[in-house]
Structure 1
Amino acid sequence: MPIAQQQQTEPQEESPVEEKKYEPPFGTLDWLYYWAQFEGQMPTPIDVSLAGSMAYLCPELKWYNFDVYAHKIKLTNTGYTILLGAKWMTERPYLEGGCFRDKHVLSQVHFHWGADMMEGSEHTVDKRRYPGEMQVTYFRSEYMTQEEALQYEDGVVVVCYMIKYGVNPDVRLARIIEGFPRCRPPKTTTRIGPYPMSLLMPMFYEDYFLYWGRLATVKGDSYTVRWLVPRITMFASLDQMNEFRKLWNPWDEPNLGNFRPLHERGQFVIPEDESAPLTFPPVDSPPVTFDRHIWCINPHWNLYNSTLPIPRIPEKSISILSSEYRTKWWMLPPQNEYMITEMINEREDAENKERT
């Protein structure tokens, strides 16, 4: 057989076709979640600011059942922080809309503080550290518990409120601090209230920072979490912050601080193989590196400062009563009896308008 004919009969090797990686379109919620696989293992806390963030439009954030009184509220001094947990007879408060694709229910509240008024918050805003920080944890409802939700990169959200210095005491914090004298030793608990969550935390539907990052626990575990830092803040007087410093740590000493060190915003390298672990650039940064994304969701028109001024008059609650409570009025606690009257009046007004 001629050599030329033999070469023609040999099978030709086909060049491999490169599969294009799918990236959700910019402007969608899926695009925000897409970056969890690359940025979810980067360290926290970090500094956030308007200048260092990207404006991103999302639907309005909706707060459900935050005006419904809890059945009981328990304060626990863990030895490392003060933890607030609450129980409801029926449906718990939850968040929807905004940067959430699913319903996220309220889990717990805890605090961070320092030895003086110049430190205490974990995050900084415009490189400024505040006396304290209140962190509220939510988890995706389909995972049933926070422990289960932590195993998934889209399971847990932490909303971080900066606590500024104020000449007058904050009424919201005063409702929590009144229980501190009864749980100063570590591993002790007490009851407060009960109150609706709308009396303990500010609510917002826009104007908040969002980023992905790692949550490291004292036990050495590490989880991917979404961090939300609203531009609205809380405040505390000097006496109120001193009450935090009177709490004892596990060594029966005053707990003078429990905030983590600040980390740089950081860069990362996206691997060619999506199954490969995220790598951080060496000192000589390679050409393909990306800054961690920090988004400012639905920024307000006031862009003078990254945090908004403390309102002189308490803002009206934006909590919405869920359809579960609207159709089953008997599920509401006695303290929310006024809601039943309001719903009856709304129905009567709507019927009168139809008749006319």
Structure 2
Amino acid sequence: MASKSTDAFDEEERVQEEEEPKREPTYGTVEWIYYWSDTEGLLPTPLNVSITGAIKYSCPSLRWYNFDVYPHKIKMTNTGYTVLIGAKWKTERPYLEGGVLLERHVLSQIHFHWGPNLMDGSEHSVDNRKHPAEMHVSFFKSEYLTQEEALKHDDGVVMFCYIIKMAVDPDPRLTWVIDAFPKIREPQSRTRIGPLPMSKLMPMFAEDYFLYWGNLPSAKGDNFIIRWLVPRVTLFATSEQIKEFRKLWDPWDEPNPGNCRPLQEQKDRKIFLINPHFNLYNSLLPLPTKPEPSISVLSDEYTSKPWMLPSIEASLQAVLEKALRGDEPEEEQNKLFVIN
């Protein structure tokens, strides 16, 4: 009898916990951003983002780790629907901490969206203007171990959405990828590229980005809750480079004119603008006039075990060991973690 009474009490307590409304965290905390996943996480995407109407919000700086470390290999695949890039490291992978993330998020994969012309290709619009293409980079919460598992959790995945603008000159960060497109024209074809560090492809930033909650629909009909992050920094490409996307074949062996989804209405959904401090007249920042230095640093795992670095970085190991002993001048130590 005592056992049955205890079970009934536990069940009643569980039901009460489920019925108890979720308390709203304090405004100004990262937890307050997470709170809105319950009501906005399954709303449709993509959206228009703009400084106008966005909620300006302060968060810690976003920190990038190991994005200067060379991967063991990088594979690029034409899935028939998109270009998918995956990389493998023999040791620790690149990851993010801080910013709007409560825990460490690990780099997962990269894919692209484009359209039938230069005026329609990006998934998101900015200030009600679409751009030729968009690069998506997914990160998942490290404790879930895989992106597949992370997608089952509201706090599991964040998608970085880099707008690709039209430009006269090619972007070196994209050129080494697009130059390999002729090798993957056919659907399900793949090739190796690089390998180069992810800092050679992804613009890095500590602040100045848009964030909102929304759904990620799958081909199987599932809808996952994820965070969508649109940086104000961008990539760029020439018209000839954008044409290379449309030369890729779809699953029916026809040129793929595009794979961008239609825009959705924001309605009452919150779009955050995190730590804005640059030019606030335009929602996207101007194209860089020169390559910007990397802001990525090595993780404690690499700094304590420099022998784990790939062989291509072996020349840095002796300098790193000196820096760890304090023998290297401070100026040289600061240079050590910047690979231009």
Instruction: Check whether TM > 0.5.
Output: yes
**How much does 1:211 deviate?**
0.4
Cα distance, 1:134–1:21 mapped onto 2, change above 3 Å: closer
CA distance in 2, matches of 1:342, 1:230: 34
Cα distance, 1:21–1:192 mapped onto 2, change above 3 Å: closer
Aligned to 2:160: 159
Aligned to 2:14: none
Aligned to 2:312: 335
Cα distance, 1:229–1:347 mapped onto 2, change above 3 Å: same
- Alpha-carbon RMSD across the aligned residues, in angstroms, is 1.6
- Indicate the larger mover: 61-70 or 301-310: 301-310
Question: Who wins on radius of gyration, i.e. which is larger?
Answer: 1
Instruction: Kindly report which structure 2 residues correspond to 1:201-212, keeping only aligned pairs within 5 A, or say none.
Output: 201-212=202-213
Counterpart secondary structure, 1:159: strand
CA deviation string 1:123-157 (max 9, x = no partner): 00000000000000000000010000000000000
**How much does 1:348 deviate?**
5.1
What is the TM-score when the length of structure 2 is the normalising length? 0.89
Aligned to 2:286: 309
**How much does 1:237 deviate?**
0.4
Aligned to 1:128: 129
Q: Give ranges in structure 2 of 5+ residues lacking alignment.
A: 1-18, 331-340
Aligned to 1:168: 169
Instruction: Kindly report which structure 2 residues correspond to 1:1-356, keeping only aligned pairs within 5 A, or say none.
Output: 22-266=23-267, 291-347=268-324, 349=326
**How much does 1:177 deviate?**
1.1
Cα distance, 1:115–1:50 mapped onto 2, change above 3 Å: same
How many residues in Structure 1 have an aligned counterpart in Structure 2?
A: 312
Counterpart secondary structure, 2:216: strand
CA distance in 2, matches of 1:352, 1:113: 47
Cα distance, 1:42–1:324 mapped onto 2, change above 3 Å: same
CA distance in 2, matches of 1:104, 1:317: 19
Q: Percent identity?
A: 60
CA distance in 2, matches of 1:20, 1:142: 27
CA deviation string 1:140-184 (max 9, x = no partner): 000010000000000000000000001011111111112211111
Given that 2:114 and 2:121 are in contact with CA atoms closer than 8 Å, whether structure 1 keeps it comes out as yes
What is the TM-score when the length of structure 1 is the normalising length? 0.85
CA distance in 2, matches of 1:352, 1:186: 52
CA deviation string 1:231-268 (max 9, x = no partner): 000000011111111100001000011000000102xx
CA distance in 1, matches of 2:180, 2:95: 25
**How much does 1:335 deviate?**
1.5
Given that 2:322 and 2:328 are in contact with CA atoms closer than 8 Å, whether structure 1 keeps it comes out as no
**How much does 1:337 deviate?**
2.2
Give the aligned residue type for 2:212.
Y
Cα distance, 1:206–1:181 mapped onto 2, change above 3 Å: same
Cα distance, 1:351–1:88 mapped onto 2, change above 3 Å: closer
Give the aligned residue type for 2:129.
R
- Indicate the larger mover: 228-237 or 341-350: 341-350
Given that 2:307 and 2:317 are in contact with CA atoms closer than 8 Å, whether structure 1 keeps it comes out as no
Give the structure with the larger helix fraction: 2
Cα distance, 1:21–1:252 mapped onto 2, change above 3 Å: closer
Cα distance, 1:351–1:330 mapped onto 2, change above 3 Å: closer
Cα distance, 1:110–1:102 mapped onto 2, change above 3 Å: same
CA distance in 1, matches of 2:132, 2:79: 20
Structure 1 moving runs of 4+ over 4 Å:
18-21, 348-353
Counterpart secondary structure, 1:326: helix
